Amino acid sequence: MNSPLAPGTKLGRYEIRSQLGMGGMGIVYLADDAQLQRRVAIKVLPKDVASSRSRVWRFEQEAKAAAALNHPNIAHVYEIGEDQGTHFIAMEYVDGHTLTELIHSGQTELVKFLRYLQHTAEGLAKAHDAGIVHRDLKPDNIMITRDGHAKVMDFGLAKLIEPRGVEDAEGIGDEANTVLAASPHRPFSPALTSPGTVLGTVGYMSPEQAQGKTDQIDHRSDIFAFGCILFEVVTGNKAFDGTDTIDILNKIIRQPVPPITDFRSDVPTHLQRIIRRCVAKDPEARYQTIKDVAIELKELRLEMASGDGIEPATLTSNTMGSTATSLPSQTSPSSNAPNTTSSSIVTDLKRHKVAAVLTLLVILVAAGALAFYLRSRNVSDEIESIAVLPFQNKSTEPDTEYLSDGLAESLIYRLSQLPHLKVSPTSSVFHYKGKEIDPVKVGQELGVSAVLSGRMVQRGDSLTISVELVDVRNNKLLWGEQYERKMSDLLTTQREIAHEIVEKLKLKVSGDEKGLAKQYTDNNEAYQLYLKGRFYWNKRSNDGFEKALEYFQQAIDRDPNFALAYAGLADTYDLIGGPEAGGDRSPNEVLPKAKVAALKALQLDETLAEPHVSLAHVTYYYDRDWAGAEREFKRAIELNPNYPQAHFWYAVYLTVVVRREEALSEIRRAQDLDPLSLPINAWVGRILALNGQYDQAIEQLRKTADMDPNFILAIHRLALVYEEKGMYDEAISKFQQVLKISGGRPLAVAGIAREYALMGKRDEAQKNLDVLLQLWKERYVSPTMIALIYSALGNTDKAFEWLDTADKAHDLNVVRLKEDFRFNSLRSDPRFTALVRRIGIP
């Protein structure tokens, strides 16, 4: 073990403040992150572990996977580092109490514990969906923050303590110690640990872990540990306890969990059932997903909180009892021996009871086997989510990529209209475009039950489309088909595929199958032009927007009643007038056109969610009708609650009207629906910053930039957070990165000019400002950005001149007067109040 580090010791950019705990994994310290100005927990690895390159490599892979997890109930891993031979991990510092402390304080209501564990299960579900198993779940690894949120600690870190002989001859000792959960409120005391090839903490490990069956350890081992924790929360006693490690392992492998009624009689029957199923010896008999456990706990908690036939029990020292080192004796040694007659009667009763129990078990096993058989015969009945991957384009014809992309996007759109099917959005699945994919792996990453993949070949007017539908949970092909069609049959073929998917999944759809049967257009040529429009719209570039406008208009010329083409036109005009979205056209020119297109789409089909969102965008940016915009957003969400763009743009609206908590909730909903969307993830960072959560915002924006290093909006947002924190050098560095990637976009030039002005470098600021003023003469540049530079230079009169220009131009940035920190220096000026009143921001 390493010698303790003294306060003030530097590890990279971290400065040690105090020791939090110690264990076989090393020593945990509280430290300050000098760069990001936040507190972190630093775990320093033991020298014997750090000296093994293979162990450090494996550990880093696990930690990287854990660091990729983004969930409010999972403590984040920030960095794996090394400084002069000292290896360490920087993690989120969680200020609160461990679940262990709360259990044994005897002061927490059971209904609150269930909320903590429901959230724990939701965090675990996120990790399991990403293919990460904790392997060392226990109350010490669950922290409850001071504001009552559960955080699961040390994801993926248990792999480090894998003992000698499991994967190589290098080890860290004869005994595998437990993973340390840092808590500032107690000294660390190592729990019983497992020798040999056993991985985990004794008392919480599953039977397969206890037997050293490392190849059988999966997410269901975490479910077993979760059941043990739930048992301990309810009773105050460990589910499996004994005199020593061997005794406990034996009980885990061979003995059932003690009846909860041995410890307390007021526990709801439903809760006892949940625990028993979690701690079943056979993994197949447990819950198969922790998400199911979370759902049941939530239902039970709500029943208890509402008093629906259940008394909300309170855990106190009187009801819980102390943690025992051995199970209580069932008979007292001093009790009198029963007489022969009584003994005979009792024996006879026990015999009948055993027979009844055995009969019941036989019935349950038979019923379970039958249910499993029926499920295996018709797995598709349970499929409720699907991902349609971009079709592989195997064509030799030029410019056919729009067909392969468009076919997938059209299927996504049609299937997303079905009320009982969750469909991964375009931005999530197009992450896999051009890659060799494993449907099972993709399904796990996207958290869906089924994956549809396909390939397309066009030769002249002939079109060959091959499609496969896979149940990713069982790696089972549900359906495969090949279509030999003419290009003129493309629209019909797309509808045919959508219908067959529904048939093979045996989905229950209402009435006429809603959007699935809807005829958006009967004109195949118009349909292909619409696909081309969406293809270029998705590129999110000036050239892409211009081509999208052309193709959407051509589609409308072919079919003037094609509502989706009008919706596409509205979406394009909305974005082409926004400098942050990549557009460079005047809002006064394009926003009225967006409104006309959206209204026409709704005239043709009021039930489309997309044009309601586009109309809402215009309604507050251009018309300054704030209430009307909110009605349109809510109508869109009512029509399609799973449309990510509706929640996304509604969140942006909520920031403008300074309803920041609601904005964070909406953007999180959008992120849940479309987790790989770059714009949505960037706005999560922006809204976190608006809520004062700067460290979380920086972390979120860095992750977004890692998803695509050329996505300038994330880098731009990161620069703004640095500016707000007064980190001007870092902000300039990010703006310069945007400048390089974008080829000199005004957005970047304006950012650099403002940072130089704030730093007092007036000459550099003026030089960049002159570049913008010259660009303004040639094309549209956001007047608000120019005003913000003058504000930083201290020229208030010029700042308000340009803000007046921005107001008249309906610039998209000027409506952010109330929410944007960059206007702070102008707020005390009466002209600012007058401008806010004129714009009418509520």
CB under 8 Å to 477, separation ≥6 — which residues? 468, 469, 470, 471
Closest by Cα among 179, 192, 224, 183 to 206: 224
Contact 392, 432 (CB under 8 A): no
Residues 113, 16 share a domain: yes
Is the predicted pLDDT of residue 815 greater than 70, yes or no? yes
Give the model's confidence band at 611: pLDDT under 50 very low, under 70 low, under 90 confident, else very high. Answer: very high
Helix (H, G, I), strand (E, B) or coil at 150: strand
Residue 662 CA, chain-centre distance (Å), reads 18
Give the model's confidence band at 330: pLDDT under 50 very low, under 70 low, under 90 confident, else very high. Answer: very low
- DSSP E strand boundaries for 186-332: 194-195
Contact 397, 460 (CB under 8 A): yes
User: Tens of pLDDT along 652-692?
Assistant: 999 999 999 999 999 999 988 888 788 899 999 999 999 99
Give the model's confidence band at 49: pLDDT under 50 very low, under 70 low, under 90 confident, else very high. Answer: low
Give the model's confidence band at 576: pLDDT under 50 very low, under 70 low, under 90 confident, else very high. Answer: confident
Does residue 354 lie in a domain region? no
Closest by Cα among 419, 613, 426 to 516: 419
Domain final position from 269, 291, 320: 320
Does residue 745 lie in a domain region? yes
Q: How much is the average pLDDT of 137-159?
A: 79
How far is residue 272 from each of residues 222, 278, 309, measured CA to CA in Å?
A: 18, 10, 16
Q: What is the pLDDT of residue 194?
A: 38
Does residue 2 lie in a domain region? no
Does residue 100 lie in a domain region? yes
Domain final position from 320, 346, 369: 320
Q: What is the pLDDT of residue 397?
A: 65
Is the predicted pLDDT of residue 157 greater than 90, yes or no? no
State both tokens at 255. Answer: 């003995």
Residues 116, 227 share a domain: yes
Give the model's confidence band at 768: pLDDT under 50 very low, under 70 low, under 90 confident, else very high. Answer: very high
Closest by Cα among 595, 590, 559 to 576: 590
Q: How much is the average pLDDT of 381-404?
A: 75
- The Cα–Cα gap between 137 and 223 comes to 9
Helix (H) or strand (E) holding 307: none
- The Cα–Cα gap between 611 and 562 comes to 13
User: Tens of pLDDT along 213-269?
Assistant: 777 788 899 999 999 999 999 999 999 988 888 889 889 988 889 888 888 888 888
User: Tens of pLDDT along 478-525?
Assistant: 777 777 777 777 767 766 777 777 666 655 444 344 444 456 787 878
Mean pLDDT of the residues in the chain = 78
Which residue type sits at 499? Answer: H
Q: What is the pLDDT of residue 376?
A: 43
Contact 594, 600 (CB under 8 A): no
Does residue 672 lie in a domain region? yes
Q: What is the pLDDT of residue 86?
A: 84
Residues 572, 509 share a domain: no
Helices (H), 130-268: 207-210, 219-235, 245-254
Q: What is the pLDDT of residue 63?
A: 67
User: Which CATH number characterizes residue 582's domain?
Assistant: 1.25.40.10
- The Cα–Cα gap between 789 and 191 comes to 59
Is the predicted pLDDT of residue 581 greater than 60, yes or no? no
Share of the chain above pLDDT 90, in %: 32
Residues 422, 546 share a domain: no
Q: What is the pLDDT of residue 28?
A: 86
Residues 550, 455 share a domain: no
Most confident of 187-196, 213-222, 833-842: 833-842
Closest by Cα among 247, 204, 240 to 222: 204
Q: What is the pLDDT of residue 553?
A: 93
Residues 554, 509 share a domain: no
User: Tens of pLDDT along 402-434?
Assistant: 777 777 777 787 777 676 678 887 777 877 877
Q: How much is the average pLDDT of 264-291?
A: 89
Q: Tokens 């009763």 belong to which residue?
A: 349
Does residue 1 lie in a domain region? no
Residues 234, 281 share a domain: yes
Q: What is the pLDDT of residue 159?
A: 45
- The Cα–Cα gap between 701 and 678 comes to 10
Does residue 566 lie in a domain region? yes
User: Which CATH number characterizes residue 22's domain?
Assistant: 1.10.510.10
User: Which CATH number characterizes residue 505's domain?
Assistant: 3.40.50.10610
Give the model's confidence band at 183: pLDDT under 50 very low, under 70 low, under 90 confident, else very high. Answer: very low
- The Cα–Cα gap between 207 and 279 comes to 9
Q: What is the pLDDT of residue 810?
A: 92
Residue 229 CA, chain-centre distance (Å), reads 25
Residues 140, 22 share a domain: yes
The size of the chain, in residues, is 842
User: Tens of pLDDT along 461-478?
Assistant: 777 888 888 888 877 777
Does residue 449 lie in a domain region? yes
Is the predicted pLDDT of residue 834 greater than 90, yes or no? yes
Which residue type sits at 515? Answer: G
Q: What is the pLDDT of residue 396?
A: 63
Is the predicted pLDDT of residue 367 greater than 50, yes or no? no
What is the tally of helices (H) and strands (E) in the chain? Answer: 32, 17
- The Cα–Cα gap between 206 and 225 comes to 6
User: Tens of pLDDT along 68-82?
Assistant: 777 888 888 888 888
User: Tens of pLDDT along 529-539?
Assistant: 888 888 788 77
Residues 720, 626 share a domain: yes
Residues 397, 493 share a domain: yes
Signed CA dihedral, 17, 18, 24, 25: sign only: negative
Q: What is the pLDDT of residue 121?
A: 93
Helix (H, G, I), strand (E, B) or coil at 747: helix
Which residue type sits at 328? Answer: P
Closest by Cα among 136, 150, 260 to 203: 136
Q: Which domain holds residue 473?
A: 381-518
- 353 against 546, higher pLDDT: 546
Is the predicted pLDDT of residue 166 greater than 80, yes or no? no
Closest by Cα among 775, 774, 773 to 790: 773
Number of domains in the chain: 3
Give the model's confidence band at 459: pLDDT under 50 very low, under 70 low, under 90 confident, else very high. Answer: confident
Lowest mean pLDDT segment, chosen from 165-179, 308-322, 398-412, 558-572: 165-179
State both tokens at 704. Answer: 């977004």
Domain final position from 486, 518, 550: 518
Give buried/exposed letters for 701-712 (b at 16+ CB in 10 A, else e). Answer: bebbbeeeeebb
Q: What is the pLDDT of residue 662?
A: 94
Is the predicted pLDDT of residue 158 greater than 50, yes or no? no
Residues 577, 640 share a domain: yes
Contact 314, 109 (CB under 8 A): yes
Residues 401, 302 share a domain: no
The radius of gyration of the chain from alpha carbons, rounded to an integer in Å, stands at 31
CB under 8 Å to 647, separation ≥6 — which residues? 637, 666, 667, 669, 670, 673
Helix (H, G, I), strand (E, B) or coil at 469: strand
